Chains A and B, each alone.
Chain A
């Protein structure tokens, strides 16, 4: 069975919610839609306070090419356009809508029928994806239409559907692939058509046999689509790791992109959103969120309107446990701890993990014994202990030479460190600083020209 070659670890799976079917979450009374739910420039509001909006109506237009639209996720009145706290306690501009009824935009097809025919051209498909405000729903939130716009001189050979979901605890993609396999397969075909590609690979880790079976069944009609079971290893769902696992090709270090080896990777939930946008004219207004963790009584997979407060989701799953706990946006490996649970669900929120007791806190850091476990675990072939030290000593040039910008922030180094050192914390700081330096240098160069 296939997997990627370099590094990787095997954290406990803890897929508590794997058997929980997707439930539609009750409509929230108020939604908060941040203008920046994606990588790139924040969107610009096109509604004013007091306006009445319906579900699926455009409320904020993309600002420039690398940006994404935001649509109303409930029908009602816009009550405020103001900075609101994000999960990390920092204010970011957002549109606040108070819900009245549940009125959808008339062009949206809400029937369950799976549409298999598509008469649109590739460019039209990409335009529909852009208009729907779709971004990578796996967590990276990179605008999908930008990813599908292939730079001149490159050619896509594969569409890869990322169904690895290697992150412990999270099961949203798994449930989407199990329950809506037909639509995901149609979405993958649309992506292939948009790119003019004849080969689609769907990579799913072998701890999801039901999803593999359903997807294989749904894809059986189409010879160009192949469902590939993958041997479990974290971070298989990393774009570069998945490409390596499925095609054996290695993406060179930045600024190279997956398209340089002919691959375009999209997460399974994103592919479902693409299908809905193209065939049902439905913009990205809801997503599946896993609410899980050993601290919760009833781990669930919920279909949630964007902008719903996360605290409401936690309440439905049994509420926060007694005592101190850690609430993560995402899973335990890549998730970020949250301090504002009233913050809204955004496009990139694939799960909420509640850890309690001993899981909730880190072990005290000790001294590095140079065991090099982090080097062996790094799926990008970096030297995490050196990068971490370099960031502490502010040796930015050394970090750049050590290829810190290649770091995918998967957290393998930190998870495997026997001294419990906060390696990733420092490397992330180093990566931010070095990326800033590289950008500044590029700016200086262009302005000199």
Chain B
């Protein structure tokens, strides 16, 4: 009995002592934190995707509260609506950023781009790209093991088994940029998102000369420059045998689409220009 009493009393005394120590320690080292950070964090989508450039939503919330000017901060997942809500809560002006969507710039489907060899290493784009050019004759195109699909936390990307290329669902894409970082060939680009997910872009990133492109892939940009000449808005530039359409200048007039001899300029969710305006092409 005595032993039991002694044990209980000792433990109680220890508990009280620890409580006192902890009380003073907690007072001495208390961290002042703005309660608004918690509130802002709740307003953010909670995806922790890192699309804003911070490690997670908490980091973003902290930055939104502490920074005087939040125009450089943007949550691509929550979009304008979320940013407006946060800005009105904090009494700051909301950052403005146009909607974007990930765009896969390679049209080298299995039918267009014949295989020249077989890869049997680890099924990863990063590994394959570090070893060699890829299974086809094009050293720039998609290697097709779906690293982008693996990193997408929103289920917006899937591999199309027919083409062997990844496809973006613009409705689900939040433009967080994870796939852009994951692609070792730098094929995926964040481009302006038009209403109705309409888009015109050069679906090729090959800097090879025309003849080499033609040999490797039927859908590649050969750098002929016809699109550059036809564009009325000066939106298309040609650099190292590759055309690029500036999403800020492009007005979706689609003249370049009809001009492109290889079909490297892709049109999505839009009808082509009327037939009478189309020149006859082989």
| Interface of A toward B, CB cutoff 8 Å | 88-91, 324, 336-337, 339, 361-362, 392, 422, 425-426, 428-429, 432
Contacts and interface: CB of A to CB of B under 8 A. Distances in A.
A89 B151 CA distance: 27
Given A339-B116, A339-B117, A88 B122 contact: no
B118 interface: yes
A244 B28 CA distance: 56
Interface string B122-137: 1010110011111001
- Listed from nearest, the 6 A-B pairs whose CB atoms lie closest are A89-B133, A88-B132, A425-B122, A422-B122, A425-B121, A362-B120
B99 interface: no
B214 interface: no
Contact of B130 (A89, A337, A339, A429): A429
9 contacts: A88-B131, A89-B137, A339-B133, A362-B120, A422-B121, A426-B127, A428-B127, A428-B130, A429-B130
A426 B116 CA distance: 24
Contacts of A336: 131-132
Interface residues of B, number: 16
A6 B127 CA distance: 28
A337 B127 contact: no
B139 interface: yes
A90 B127 contact: no
A84 to B, nearest CB: 12
A122 to B, nearest CB: 40
Contacts of A362: 120-121
Nearest to B216: A89
B121 A89 contact: no
Contacts, number: 45
Contacts of B117: 339
A429 B120 contact: no
B135 to A, nearest CB: 9
Given A336-B131, A339-B117, A429-B130, 5 more contacts: A89-B133, A90-B139, A336-B132, A339-B132, A428-B130
Given A339-B116, A339-B117, A426-B127, A89 B132 contact: yes
Contact of B124 (A90, A337, A429): A429
Count chain B CB atoms within 10 A of each CB in A89, A324, A336 and give the residue with the most: A89
B122 A426 contact: yes
A91 B117 CA distance: 17
A91 B138 CA distance: 11
B174 to A, nearest CB: 21
Contacts of B124: 392, 425-426, 429
B128 to A, nearest CB: 9
A331 B137 CA distance: 25
Contacts of B134: 89
Nearest to B120: A362
A392 B122 CA distance: 10
Contacts of A426: 122, 124, 127
Nearest to A388: B122
Nearest to A89: B133
Contact of A324 (B118, B121, B130): B118
Contacts of A425: 121-122, 124, 127, 131
Given A339-B116, A425-B127, A429-B126, A88 B133 contact: yes
Contacts of B132: 88-90, 336-337, 339
A339 B135 CA distance: 9
A336 B131 CA distance: 8
B120 A432 contact: no
A422 B120 CA distance: 9
Nearest to A324: B118
Contacts of A432: 130
Contacts of B139: 89-91
A361 B120 contact: yes
Contacts of A89: 132-134, 137, 139
A392 B150 CA distance: 11
A315 B121 CA distance: 27
Nearest to B134: A89
A173 to B, nearest CB: 26
B277 to A, nearest CB: 39
A392 B118 CA distance: 22
A426 B123 CA distance: 10
Contacts of A428: 127, 130
A422 B145 CA distance: 15
A428 B122 CA distance: 11
Nearest to B184: A429
A362 B126 CA distance: 19
A432 B124 CA distance: 15
A91 B133 CA distance: 9
A253 to B, nearest CB: 23
Interface in B106-159: 116-118, 120-122, 124, 126-127, 130-134, 137, 139
B138 to A, nearest CB: 9
Contact of A90 (B116, B121, B133): B133
Contacts of B133: 88-90, 339
A342 to B, nearest CB: 13
A422 B130 CA distance: 14
A361 B124 CA distance: 17
Contacts of B130: 428-429, 432
A283 to B, nearest CB: 30
B242 to A, nearest CB: 14
A90 B141 CA distance: 12
Count chain B CB atoms within 10 A of each CB in A88, A361, A429, A432 and give the residue with the most: A429
Contacts of B126: 429
A94 to B, nearest CB: 15
Contacts of A337: 131-132
A329 B29 CA distance: 62
Contacts of A90: 132-133, 139
Contacts of A392: 124
A324 B118 CA distance: 9
A417 to B, nearest CB: 12
B229 to A, nearest CB: 27
A101 to B, nearest CB: 32
A330 to B, nearest CB: 13
B215 to A, nearest CB: 12
B131 to A, nearest CB: 7
A361 B134 CA distance: 16
